[in-house]
């Protein structure tokens, strides 16, 4: 039967880069059926809320969602839509691969690193947020459970096996954050023992940042807790030419949402300037998740050829073309 996919075009540059991606999926012969759903500012205008029930129902029903960036209005008591989605669907694993292409602003060649970030616990759990009455003391709780740590670590190793990766580095700060990061590291060592075919290393987070900048080729798969994963994955995006090149998958037991790491880029929205590569790479992650590796490889190759030859690339990649020209160049290669 035909695979149905929920598509949220999103705000700002979202519709342009998501539409470009759908054209590319169709051209590659993917034969998906799309159910379009609203979220973010567009949903607020059309339905009076940021995350309408019918959108949640479609995400649950099709289990696979491709999503453009969403604008969360500042203030007015709105909680981040992305955080809500991750919580609602228990999307515990955030998989953020970076791959360098020649001829871009990438700092190094041959970068190929996947950060697996725990998406629901740690400093971002939202637990115990308190500010004293005089406003001079603030606290929040960081919570790690054995179950949560084991789930993300096992996910990272299973992914490494499936994708033929050789090394997993568990990133922590157990020397200072003895309880939380300590538990994560303890479980990391236990899980590592179950995968003797993969090289397991551990590294303290601050050293990891320095090592990523100085000698990034030592890394293959990085697995870490929520806050460290957020920061490290942006650092990795910086290694390969910026946010326009960075996709992310949010994966749970029952559903998955594939998206760009960047936001709605209001500064360039509606100007045909956005680089659609991040969402196209997110769609490639989606294809691999669906067991369609051949189609994923074809699209990745087409992108690589366009970017490395500098044929109609966007400004952030050093070119002087727009979203539509870039997309056309990829379509022609497919
Ligand atoms: P942003 O990621 O939208 O933009 C940062 C800078 O990167 C801007 O200069 C932008 O022009 C550039 N940029 C981003 N994507 C690009 C692309 N594909 N091609 C070329 N240049 C690109 O971050 P900002 O401005 O802080 O946030 C804007 C809005 O996005 C906010 O409302 C924020 O809440 C939302 N946001 C949504 C996310 C999501 O839905 N996953 C993630 C991050 C932010
Ligand atoms: Mg982030």
What are 155-187's pLDDT values in tens digits?
999 999 999 999 999 999 999 999 999 999 999
73-124: pLDDT as tens digits: 876 666 788 888 998 999 999 999 999 998 787 889 999 999 999 999 999 8
Q: Cβ distance 288 to 164 under 8 Å? A: no
What ligand 1 atom has the least distance to the C-alpha of 315? 20
Query: Which H or E element spans position 224?
Result: strand 221-224
Share of the chain above pLDDT 70, in %: 99
20-79: pLDDT as tens digits: 999 999 999 999 999 999 999 989 999 999 999 999 999 999 999 999 999 888 766 667
Quote the pLDDT of residue 104.
80
Ligand 1 pocket (Cβ < 6 Å) reads 13, 17, 69-72, 82, 243-244, 259, 262-268, 274-275, 278, 316
Considering every ligand atom, which ligand is closest to the CA of 68? 1
Residue 34 designated active-site? no
Mean per-residue pLDDT, 255-266? 95
> Whose alpha carbon is nearest atom 1 of ligand 1?
263
Residue 124 designated active-site? yes
- Please tell me the distance from the alpha carbon of residue 93 to that of residue 70, in angstroms, as a whole number: 20
Helix, strand, coil % (nearest 5) of the chain?
Answer: 45, 20, 40
DSSP readout, 295-306?
Answer: HHHHHHHHHHHH
Domains and CATH numbers, the chain: 4-111+240-333 (3.40.718.10)
Residue 230 designated active-site? yes
184-224: pLDDT as tens digits: 999 999 999 999 999 999 999 999 999 999 999 999 999 99
Mutate to test the pocket of ligand 1, among 264, 320, 327 (most ligand atoms within 8 A of CB): 264
- For residue 207, report the distance from its CA to the centre of ligand 1, in Å: 28
Considering every ligand atom, which ligand is closest to the CA of 67? 1
Which of the residues 38, 220, 230, 316 is marked catalytic? Answer: 230
């Amino acid at each position: 039967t035909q695979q149905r996919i929920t598509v949220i075009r999103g705000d700002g540059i979202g519709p342009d880069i998501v539409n470009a991606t759908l054209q590319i999926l169709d051209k590659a012969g993917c034969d998906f059926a799309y159910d379009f759903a609203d979220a973010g500012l567009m949903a607020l205008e059309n339905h009076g809320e940021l995350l309408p029930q019918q959108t949640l129902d479609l995400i649950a029903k099709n289990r696979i969602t491709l999503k453009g960036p969403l604008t969360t209005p500042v203030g007015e008591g709105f909680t981040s839509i992305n955080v809500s989605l991750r919580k609602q669907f228990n999307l515990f694993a955030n998989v953020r691969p970076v791959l360098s292409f020649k001829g871009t602003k990438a700092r190094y060649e041959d970068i190929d690193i996947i950060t697996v970030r725990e998406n629901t616990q740690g400093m971002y759990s939202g637990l115990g947020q308190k500010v004293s009455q005089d406003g001079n003391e603030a606290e929040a709780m960081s919570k790690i459970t054995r179950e949560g740590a084991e789930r993300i670590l096992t996910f990272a190793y299973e992914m490494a096996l499936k994708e033929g990766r050789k090394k997993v580095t568990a990133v922590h700060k157990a020397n200072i954050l003895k309880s939380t990061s300590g538990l994560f590291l303890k479980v990391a060592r236990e899980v590592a023992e179950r995968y003797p075919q993969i090289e397991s290393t551990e590294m303290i987070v601050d050293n990891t940042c320095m090592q990523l900048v100085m000698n990034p080729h030592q890394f293959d798969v990085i697995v870490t807790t929520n806050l460290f994963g957020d920061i490290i994955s942006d650092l990795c995006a910086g290694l390969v030419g910026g946010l326009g090149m960075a996709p992310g998958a949010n994966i749970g037991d029952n559903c998955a949402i594939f998206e760009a790491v960047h936001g709605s880029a209001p500064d360039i929205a509606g100007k045909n300037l956005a680089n659609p590569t991040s969402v196209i790479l997110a769609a490639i992650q989606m294809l691999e998740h669906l067991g369609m590796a051949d189609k994923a490889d074809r699209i990745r190759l087409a992108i690589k050829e366009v970017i490395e030859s500098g044929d109609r690339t966007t400004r952030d990649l050093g070119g002087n073309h727009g979203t539509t020209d870039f997309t056309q160049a990829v379509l022609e290669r497919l």
